[in-house]
Amino acid sequence: MLLLVGWGFVSDCSRAKSYLKMRFMWKWHELDLFCIPRHYENDLDKVIIPHGLIMDRTERLARDIIQDMGGHHIVALCVLKGGYKFFADLLDYIKALNQNSDKSVPLTVDFIRVKSYCNDESTNSVKVIGGDELSNLRGKHFLFGLQDIVETGRTMQTLLSLLGECHPKMVKVVSLLVKRTPRSSGYRPDYIGFEVPDAFLVGYALDYNEYFRDLSHICILNDRAKEKYKV
């Protein structure tokens, strides 16, 4: 998840409500069409979002965000660990836009670490276990929080209420993925990369008990692997 904070006026983000739906199983890809690390070959069912598509969608999110921020300073808050790849790639695209267009947006970064999952299940408690002092964000106008995936929405809602105590003028949330699940609280981030099916996904920094962050594509974890890496 990515959280962005900033200074100034943000226009109405109606485009932020659009996202790519990964709906049809027949559009998911066989593993042997892609380069998968040998050590994970037997652990995955399908590639659901290839790395190139993640990058293309992230590039567009960067453009939407820059346009909506209207040149004002933003603070990007990375929700670790799962958000680190998305955070780095999104910020690279924002930097490229800053370097190559008339309009540019000053950007600073902060990090927070939260933990809510054990195996493939939410523990029902969201623990903030490290990162920058949230009080650093006091008085900042626009905060953008970046998250890897929103499932129930509990992690982001907890974080938003903590951030609320710092009284930022505006907080926007960018999540690479949102899961279609009956467990959702109904919370929707301001910017969404992809809407994904109700399965446990790994890769592109999304983990299962810390494994699979070193996989480039977003894939569906199989049941054998859930047993193999269980804690």
Residue 141 or residue 194: which is nearer to ligand IMP going by CB? Answer: 194
- Asked whether position 207 contacts Mg ion by CB under 5 A, the answer is yes
Q: How far is Cα 117 from Cα 208, in angstroms, rounded to an integer?
A: 9
Residue 155 interacts, among Mg ion, ligand IMP, none and using kind-specific CB cut-offs from 5 to 8 Å, with ligand IMP
Q: With CB under 6 A as the contact rule, which of the stretches 28-36, 56-64, 96-104, 144-152 interacts with ligand IMP?
A: 144-152
- Residue 181 and residue 164 in contact, taking contact as beta carbons nearer than 8 Å: no
Residue 132 or residue 169: which is nearer to ligand IMP going by CB? Answer: 132
Q: How far is Cα 230 from Cα 220, in angstroms, rounded to an integer?
A: 16
Q: Mask 97-136, x = binds Mg ion (CB under 5 A)?
A: --------------------x-------------------
- Asked whether position 195 contacts Mg ion by CB under 5 A, the answer is no
Give least dist CB 43 to ligand IMP, A. Answer: 13
Of how many residues is the chain composed?
231
Tokens of 8: 């100034």
DSSP category for residue 135: G
Tokens of 195: 């809407």
- Asked whether position 28 contacts ligand IMP by CB under 6 A, the answer is no
- Asked whether position 147 contacts ligand IMP by CB under 6 A, the answer is yes
Residue 203 interacts, among ligand IMP, Mg ion, none and using kind-specific CB cut-offs from 5 to 8 Å, with none
Beta strands in 137-230 (DSSP E): 142-150, 170-179, 191-196, 201-202, 218-221
Strands 20-21 and 201-202, how do they pair? unpaired
Q: How far is CA 30 from CA 186, 202, 204, in A?
A: 32, 15, 17
List interacting residues with Mg ion (CB under 5 A): 117, 207
Interface ranges with ligand IMP (CB under 6 A): 1, 82, 116-117, 122, 147-155, 200-202, 206
